[in-house]
Amino acid sequence: MLKVFLSYARADNIKGAARLRDELKFAFDVWRDIEDMQSGESWREQLSDALHEVDVVIVLLTPAAVASSHVTEEWKGARLLKKPVIPVLISPCTIPEELREIHYQNLSDPDNYGQGLMALRNDLTKAYDSIYQKLKDDLSNHLKKDALALFHPILKKLLHWSNLKFYPPRILNAFTELVDWMNADYRQGHSLADIFDQAITGNYAKPGSDLHTVFEANRNIFETVLGLFRAEVKLGEIIPIVLLIMNETEAQELASGAAFDGYPNRLRSEFKKLQSMLKKNGLANWVSNYKETSADWQPFGSEADGENIQQLVGKALKMIASPSHTLIPSFKDIHRLNDISSRQLLRQLRYDGCIVIIDGISMRHPKLLRAFHQTALDSSHRTSIVTIAPAQSTFQLLREMSFVLQLKVSDLELAKRRYDYNEEYGICVELSDANDLQRWILDRVRKMYLPQAAAQTSIKDFMFENFGRP
């Protein structure tokens, strides 16, 4: 789905931007600051990251917008990043000189708004096709280079995905850049195993680069796909391991009780009992076991020489691996599994199976419990789950503690399936009309329960096959 950035001035067009976002969001992934910015984080960094992530920038031209240094900075930044910029006139104003040479759509006339909106949608679709064509041309040129022969199978897969529009262009472009970095190291004598290690861990994505921005925003996709590429060249078998583990900031929120703000007081009281039990077991300083990332968590503290969960898992896998059968752990952070960019990965984990490592204390953090519930991984018979607690005596208390889930309807799996392009069209819908409901039920029955031969018969014939017979 094309990702679009709306650049506008709040001073005179906040309603217009909201309206346009609503009218485009069913066909395009639209980024607008009010809905998509996170509080507590640098707005400038978030805008920069968004500009790197999107495919097209729409500039909503109003008197305040052309006078705004922020709006100017956004569309000029987009041009520096070689992103298509589409001006849209919302109200009469003096169009900046650099934008005059670009064809713009006029939405300033209420009587012709619908026609202008249709033209804008066509422009976006054409821009999307043009971006993919440029990407396919680049990949085709890569495939002509003998120096990249070792990576031709990967490049062919990327070209196939480009033809299918399987991943957004920014992700496929990033993969192409990664291949260039990997090939350069290979030609300098680095081993393939080390090269894939560097790629999977993100070491080629240097901070400040476009590659770094895209990689960090879609890390699960890169880890999964690079793991599959690695498996194809027989470097080892990937073992997916999902970590339901807090980072140090979330551990501090839990210890202070801030994690329970907005939740029933019962949750806070129950956690205080757990803290008292931990203290009695000599674990008053349990917060120190949590680090910047989930993979750095030290589940057993000094009892295992301070080894983190990543090191402990790695040691266990080496015990059952062999020279001809390498086992490579691929850690998946629960924080990211419910992102829209991780839908395919989550489906794969549910279908193929995975190992889930749960920290019993982290499960008390409402945010992590909510994230785990949304993955539905525990409902799959192919999921193996281990829960770890710092003391055996805490398990009984952990099992008896309450939990509360606060979810919006849009957070539910049924809502996500409606917009999942990997799902069968029409399998999960919203309706408000009786005739539409009847048509939907007939369509579902035909596709789910009728044999192929019967499915070729019209639904009407099927429904009235025995009508009127004694």
Pairing verdict, β 327-333 and 56-61: unpaired
Spatial contact of 60 and 10, defined as CB atoms under 8 Å apart: no
Spatial contact of 73 and 66, defined as CB atoms under 8 Å apart: no
Question: Is 261 in the same domain as 312?
Answer: yes
Domain boundary pick from 383, 410, 437: 410
- The domain total for the chain is 4
Domain membership of residue 134 (yes or no) is no
Residue scoring higher pLDDT (317 or 33): 317
Question: Is 179 in the same domain as 31?
Answer: no
Q: 236 pLDDT band (50/70/90 cuts)?
A: low
Please determine, for residue 235, whether its predicted confidence score (pLDDT) is greater than 70.
no
pLDDT score for 33: 65
Residue scoring higher pLDDT (404 or 298): 298
Angle at the Cα of 131 (from 52 to 98), degrees rounded to 5? 65
Domain boundary pick from 390, 410, 430: 410
Cα–Cα distance for residue pair 115/106, rounded to 1 Å: 9
Residue 213 DSSP class:
H
pLDDT, tens digit (0-9, with 9 covering 90-100), for 409-418: 777 887 787 7
**Domain span holding position 113:** 3-128
Domain boundary pick from 213, 233, 253: 233
Please determine, for residue 46, whether its predicted confidence score (pLDDT) is greater than 60.
yes
Residue scoring higher pLDDT (412 or 351): 351
End-to-end CA distance of the chain: 53
**Residue in 168, 170, 194 with CA at minimum distance from that of residue 182:** 194
**Residue in 95, 382, 337 with CA at minimum distance from that of residue 219:** 337
The answer to whether the predicted template modeling score (pTM) of the entire model surpasses 0.85 is: no
Question: Is 287 in the same domain as 391?
Answer: yes
Please determine, for residue 469, whether its predicted confidence score (pLDDT) is greater than 50.
no
Question: Is 265 in the same domain as 360?
Answer: yes
**Cβ neighbourhood burial of 461 (10 Å; 0-12, 13-18, 19+):** exposed
Please determine, for residue 303, whether its predicted confidence score (pLDDT) is greater than 80.
no
pLDDT score for 464: 46
Domain membership of residue 468 (yes or no) is no
